[in-house]
A and B are shown apart, each in its own frame.
Chain A
Amino acid sequence: MEGIAPGMGVADARALDPTLLVEEADFIADAAALTKLATWCDRFSPWVTPCGADGILLDVTGCAHLFGDEAGLARQAVTRLARQGIEARAAIADTLGAAWALSRFGRSAALTVPRGGVRQALTDLPVAALRLEPEIVALLERLGLQRIGELYPLPRAALAARCGDSVATRLDQALGLAAEPLSPQSPKPLLWSRRSCPEPIATAEAIAAALRELLQQLTRRLGEDGLGARRLSLAAYRIDGRIERIVIGTAFPSRDTRHLWRLFEEKLEQIDPGLGIEDMVLTAESVENLTAAQLGLDGDAARSNSTDLAALIDRLANRLGMRALARPVLRESHIPERAVRFIAPLAEPQTPARWNAAQLRPIRLLPRPEPIEATAPIPDDPPLLFRWRQRAHRVRFADGPERIAAEWWRQDSKTGSGPSAPESRDYYRVEDEEGQRFWLYRAGLYCPDSVPRWFLHGFFG
Chain B
Amino acid sequence: MGEAAETVRQARLADLRRYLAEAEGFGEEAAVLPFGTPAIDEALPWQGLPLASLHEIENAGATDEDGAAVMFLAGILARLAPARPVLWCLQRPDLHAPGLALVGLDARRLVLLRAPNEREILWAMEEGLRSRALAAVVGEVEALSTPASRRLQLAAESAGVTGFVLHRSATHAVASAAVTRWRVAALPSVPLTGEPGIGQPRWRVELLRCRGGMPAAWDVEACDAAGHVAVSAALANRPALQHIGTRGQISAAG
Contact = CB atoms under 8 A, between A and B. Distances in A.
A351 to B, nearest CB: 7
Given A329-B108, A435-B186, A460 B133 contact: no
A459 B197 contact: no
Nearest to B115: A320
B211 to A, nearest CB: 27
Nearest to B72: A461
Interface in B92-150: 93-103, 106-108, 110-116, 120, 123-124, 127-128, 131-134
Contact of A396 (B133, B188, B222): B188
Interface in B21-73: 61-63, 65-68, 70-72
A308 B198 contact: no
A305 interface: yes
Contacts of A435: 185-189, 202
B102 A340 contact: no
A365 B94 contact: yes
Contacts of B186: 434-437, 461
A397 B189 contact: yes
B65 A364 contact: yes
Contact of A363 (B70, B108, B134, B225): B70
Nearest to B159: A308
Given A353-B101, A353-B108, A366-B65, A305 B70 contact: no
B89 to A, nearest CB: 9
B102 A357 contact: yes
Interface in A422-461: 429-431, 433-437, 458-461
B245 interface: no
A320 B97 contact: no
Nearest to A363: B99
Residue of B66, B98, B127, B222 with highest tally of chain A CB at under 10 A: B98
Contacts of B197: 397-399, 429
A361 interface: yes
A316 interface: yes
A325 B132 contact: no
A17 B99 CA distance: 84
Contact of A330 (B85, B107, B120): B107
A270 to B, nearest CB: 17
Interface residues of A, number: 55
B97 A330 contact: yes
B132 A308 contact: yes
B74 A398 contact: no
A359 B99 CA distance: 9
Interface in B201-254: 201-203, 222-223, 225
B199 A434 contact: no
A240 B145 CA distance: 45
Chain A's interface: helix, strand, loop or mixed, by majority?
Answer: mixed
Contact of B96 (A353, A362, A391, A431): A362
A361 B102 contact: yes
B84 interface: yes
Contacts of B66: 436, 459
A309 interface: yes
A461 B93 contact: no
Contact of B120 (A309, A319, A329): A319
A140 to B, nearest CB: 67
A339 B189 contact: no
A345 B202 CA distance: 34
A305 B84 contact: yes
Contact of B110 (A315, A327, A391, A399): A327
A151 interface: no
B67 A309 contact: no
Nearest to A349: B108
Contacts of A345: 111
Interface string B177-199: 00000000111110100001111
Contacts of A340: 96-98, 107
Residue of B85, B97, B114, B115 ringed by the most chain A CB atoms within 10 A: B97
Interface string A378-400: 00000000000101000011110
With a 10 A CB-CB cut-off, give which of A324, A339, A364 has the most chain B CB atoms: A364
Interface of A: 305-306, 308-309, 311-313, 315-316, 319-320, 324-330, 336, 339-340, 342, 345, 349, 351, 353-354, 357, 359-367, 389, 391, 396-399, 429-431, 433-437, 458-461
15 contacts: A305-B84, A305-B132, A306-B133, A312-B131, A312-B133, A316-B113, A316-B128, A320-B116, A326-B112, A361-B101, A364-B99, A366-B94, A397-B189, A434-B188, A460-B71
Given A433-B188, A461-B99, 19 more contacts: A308-B132, A316-B124, A316-B127, A319-B124, A320-B120, A326-B112, A353-B106, A353-B108, A354-B101, A360-B102, A361-B96, A366-B65, A396-B188, A431-B189, A434-B62, A436-B62, A437-B67, A459-B63, A461-B71
